[in-house]
Structure 1
Amino acid sequence: MELELRHLRIVCAVADAGSITKAAAALGLAQPALTAQLQRIERLLGGPVFERDRAGIRPTPLGDLVLTRARLLLPALSGLREEAVRFSNSGDRAGATPASLTVGSASGPVLGRLLHHLTTVYPGLRVSTQVSWSSEELAAMVADGRIDYTVVGVCGDAPPPVQSGLTWRVLGTDPVFVMLAADHPLADAPAVGLADLATAQWGATPGDGCFAQCFAAACARAGFTPRTLYETDVISCIDLVESGDAVVLCQPMFREIPGVVAVPIAGVPLKWRHLIGWHPDGPAAGLSDQVVTLATAAYADAIARSARYTNWLAGNPRYGVQPGLPAV
């Protein structure tokens, strides 16, 4: 195995975070996986890059050397990639529709409808996708010029992914609902209090950022500590609910299926904002107004699929579509 740019990014992330745990969270990796990668990097470099003690980690002399070089190389190569992408598209007329567009997403309900609207409005446009549960990874892809736009979600009022130079707009804000089996005693309730589910096992689809901590804090305010929070894919979440093994935190526009319902949580203790981001100097930046408009329409389409959420919004107008607001 040879030293790669991703290895240098890992070393920088660990140094910036000051601990393996924080770096793993920032990179969207499990801590054991990051530890194993760091060990492989140190074997490639011929010695330890970090010293570890109770206070955290700090670079060794070798680590200082690697970090110095990495902090020069990574921005230079990122800039080169962006310049190359812009150069390859420089023959296009300013404001003209590009020949292709790549859209990233960590927000399932919006992507499908956005693709539909893009290909309907721009029938000659070649649209490709890049999906990741990590909004930070998708933001890095936009910054590097690998994708043109990305739709991501952030917990509550959390800021957009920490990637400098990107423009972010809000599509809307949703409450977090809870997915229950149709025969659950609370399935027909207009809303469910977190405390009503204090003894339940919990599930959710994976996500980075502060969502797990915000969930734990909301449960603490409700007077209990959740037994567990399984993070797994959508199909497994539905299986857990159908079997009665867990209740699942979900987005309110979840398209209900037989045997499963999505119920509001009383008091809206958890929120989720949908954002779209792009690089203002990217080759497809000239379409930003149109793409934001189409992404907003896609989000509205996702809401319209759920009669229960649509009815809930009638009494809670602060949520739902919030087109074009700058994300801070």
Structure 2
Amino acid sequence: MDLELRHLKIVRAVAEAGSVTKAATHLGLAQPALTAQLKRIERVLGGTLFDRDHTGARPTPLGELVLSRARVLLPAARELQEEAVRFANAGGEVPRYRVGATNGPILGGLVDRLATAWPSTPVTTRTSWSARELTTMIMSGVIDFALIGACGESQPPVDGPAVWLTVGSDPVFVMLNEDHPLAGRREVELGELAGEQWAVTPGDGCFGDCFAAACARAGFTPQTIYETDVATCVHLAKVGRAAVLCQATFQPSAGLAMVPISEAPLRWRHLLGWHPDAPIARVAPMVAGYAKAAHADAVRRSERYAAWLAGHPHFGTSP
């Protein structure tokens, strides 16, 4: 017997009900029939899935492993079925846009453009700090497109045949309290910030290593580095507790100043990815165009970056 989705549904039902008897009632089966089916499933999987006694059924360690996979596979299978029905009923047209993104300036503008161009087509979003997680979502069909960042020339996560297109390339600036002695400078040398504590948003790429290497070239080792969410980074900069590494498109609030770092030792590439064999791939050029337009808008909104960009034309939105 091969393991099937219906078997995972049985395992899940027993776990949720807390007993084989209650699960049988829920599934509309006789209790002896469900017990026999569960024993066959256990033989296929190589061990006991539940400890069963007069108080009910509790998952064994093997059962917990199977349940953790079932909680992913069953919703994904249901979503696939629903999407296939919508796709067929739409005559082969793309039924929706599902976009995942890490922290960046593009997602909002892209969603707005997609919703404007196709007001009757749903647009859904997911966010993650992990570019690798979003890549896995592309390959498993959970999302259609992913907007991620890559430090310098580093490659996106390799996980199957995902296609990646560079939307834009930005320098990393530093955000300081407006009363900081360097806040009014046109540019600041990285070495001038040697005495600062630092704050940065998390990620699973090489940015931390690249920052440490840039500091070493500037002759110092960075002090405390706070890895935290955007709001906390902004707060730490505003109270003068840390210098914040930020994308040049970031819009600082009152009390803050964003300053370019001389020679742009740190760079951030915005990438759009998708699965080349997915039906949605045929609209990828259009989506890429909208993503680039969203990035260009973010650049224009940042007066400091737009002014800096005039002397550094190799940065900015990709052609």
> TM over 0.5: same fold?
yes
1:168 aligned residue (164, 184, 204): 164
Q: Does 1:290 align with 2:307?
A: no
Shift of 1:176: 0.4
Structure 1 pair 205/258, CA: closer, same or farther in 2 (3 Å)? same
Shift of 1:283: 3.0
Q: Deviations over 1:7-48 (max 9, x none)?
A: xxxxxxxxxxxxxxxxxxxxxxxxxxxxxxxxxxxx8259xx
- Over 3 Å counting, the alpha-carbon distance change for 1:106 and 1:289 in structure 2 is same
Instruction: Name the SS of the counterpart of 2:293 in structure 1.
Output: helix
Alignment partner, residue 44 of structure 1: 61
Counterpart residue number, 2:145: 149
Deviation at 1:90, TM superposition (A): 4.5
Distance 1:191 1:81, change over 3 A: farther
State TM-score, norm by structure 1.
0.72
One of 294, 309, 312 as aligned partner of 2:308:
312
Q: Matches of residues 187-226 of structure 1 in structure 2 within 5 Å?
A: 187-226=183-222
Letter in 2 for 1:310: A
| Unpaired stretches in structure 1, ≥5 consecutive residues | 5-42, 47-69, 71-75, 324-328
What is the aligned-residue RMSD (CA, Å)?
2.7
Q: 1:283 to 1:81 in 2, by over 3 A?
A: farther
- In structure 2, distance between residues paired with 1:85 and 1:286: 21
Identity of aligned residues (%): 48
- Rg bigger for which structure? 2
Q: Match of 2:209, as an amino acid?
A: Q
5 Å-filtered alignment, 1:87-166, equals: 87-88=84-85, 89-90=87-88, 92-94=90-92, 96=93, 98-166=94-162
1:256 counterpart = 2:273: no
Task: Find the aligned partners of 1:170 and 1:90 in 2 and give their Cα distance.
Answer: 32
Superposed CA deviations along residues 200-219 of structure 1, whole A, max 9, x for unmatched, are: 00000111110001000000
Q: Which runs of 4+ in 1 moved over 3 A?
A: 79-88, 90-94
Offset, 1:228: 1.9
Letter in 2 for 1:236: T
SS of the residue 1:104 aligns to: strand
The answer (yes or no) to whether the contact 1:139–1:161 under 8 Å persists in 2 is yes
Alignment check: 8 A CA contact 1:167 1:280 kept: yes
Q: Note if contact 1:106-1:133 (Cα within 8 Å) is conserved in structure 2.
A: yes
Alpha-carbon offset, residue 84 of structure 1: 5.5
Distance in structure 1 (CA, Å) of the matches to 2:298 and 2:222:
30
SS in 2 for 1:272: strand
| Structure 2 match to 1:234 | 230
